[in-house]
Amino acid sequence: MKQDMLDSITTAFDLQKSYKTQMRNTSCEYRLNKLKKFKTLLLNRKDEVNQALAADFHKPQVETELTEILPVISMINLLEKELASWMKEKKIKTPLLFKGAKSWVRHEGKGNCLIIAPWNYPFQLNVYPVLTAFAAGNTCIVKPSEFTPNTNKIISLLFEEIFSVQEVQMFEGEVDVCTELLKLPFDHIFFTGSTNVGKVVMEAASKHLASVALELGGKSPVVIDRHIDFDNASKKILWGKLVNSGQTCVAPDYVLIHKDDQNKFIEHTISHLKEFYGDEWKTQKDYNHIITKRHAERLNFLIQDAVEKGAEIKTGGEYFEDENIITPTILINVTKDMKIMQEEIFGPILPIIGMDSTSDMINYINEFDNALAMYIFSDNQSNINQFMKQTANGGVTINDTLISVGHPVLPFGGAGKSGIGQYHGKYGFDEFSNHRSVMKRDFDLGASYFYPPYTKKKENIVSNLLKKFSSIL
């Protein structure tokens, strides 16, 4: 790394460190004023955001506005309604034992935050956590992915127009930039990306005892129950899989379906695939490209490895190297010794696995680490409850895919190896906040009586108190 970049990072960190107390004490009005200005600016320049994402990996305008811009606007709208109430001190009822005192909780920004964002939703996953952190009273340094330079440029311009350098700064670059940032003693680190890199982030944070939020991933399963509308289910699953060409942390990773229903489901899925995209892929404007040649080659390898080990391609499997396109691919006869079932796919490949029973599906899911999401297609509440109770993951969507991610109030985050911490709505405000407890003694009703020396009389009084409070339980 060049010395001038290193100096710029150090200067920015020191500047924000000196400003964090002032930022923590900014008013709700101040924060909302900037957020509203950001929303207006974004809406005025949304065409530039669309063009940037199209340039970076051919993202269709509808997908950009639906999955990148709309979530940010929805989040700002929610903050406009709720931030004042979230920032208010929360009174806490004082127990009888502490009579004469008042208690409350203050919500204060954690301080200097580092946000490391991924490439797959490069606008939303940069901007959303930054605005949330700012709303909670934090300063932010942002490290976007080097794979999306056009999107990074427009984000940087938006940030520069709204925020001072003490509040928000962005640093572009490759791994060396991220490495240097992780050496600094941030108060909180928010990372979205792979599990392996999440481990590196957590290790770096531990050296400074920084708190972390890790939004990771995993193999998010789809389970399909008997006697449902396969036409409707296949359309929803296909859409969830192919938004952003499967480059989504909560994309359906594989489908578990009863063996007798497998062929019927595949027929419906292939029919909807043609309905969505037709047969021409190299000139298809509604289908995302894979972000880089390296990522496309990885996906092509997963397909070839699966086929060599006995999987069958029901549709797709084509790789157009010049365009970084992997056509939507359905695989059957997939086994766990195949690479495609040993890592998150993160692309437009859908393994479909026939099962004998609901119990077999649950056992299959539980052989993997906790996923970020699970999708249940069922009209049988008993079976839905069984899936919910006997599996663990970050979130569940029933009879649809992906939509819960767009819910501005529901918490979003993983469980176990799919992530630590949650954001969206109040959960995001809390993620970037320190809940500071405050207790004020107005008058003393004799608590000081129990200071040393501990006489026999005091022992008896405390013993009687303990008995009294135990009986309340």
Active site (catalytic) residues: 215, 249
What is 183-194 written as a DSSP string? TS--SEEEEES-
| Cα–Cα distance list, 56 to 101, 171, 289, 290 (Å) | 58, 18, 9, 10
Rg (CA), the chain: 26
21-55: burial string, b at 16+ Cβ within 10 Å, e else: eebbeeebeebbebbeebbeebeebbebbbbbbbe
What's the burial of 74, exposed, middle or buried (CB within 10 Å: 0-12/13-18/19+)? middle
CB 234 within 8 A of CB 201: no
For 372-438, the DSSP string reads EEEEEE-S-HHHHHHHHHH--EEEEEESSSSGGGG-SSS-EE--GGGEE-EESHHHHHHHTEEEEEE
- Of 146, 147, 162, the C-alpha closest to 45 is 162
For residue 414, which phi and psi values (nearest 5 degrees)?
Answer: -95, -175
Question: Phi first, then psi: what are they for 226, rounded to 5°?
Answer: -75, 155
Tokens of 183: 């050496």
Handedness of CA 181, 187, 193, 198 (dihedral sign): positive
Best CA proximity match to 424, nearest among 438, 403, 393, 440: 403
**CA-to-CA distance for 3 and 7, rounded, in angstroms?**
6
Contact 105, 92 (CB under 8 A): yes
CA dihedral 376, 377, 378, 379 (to 10 degrees): 120
Q: Judge contact between 168 and 139, C-beta under 8 A.
A: yes
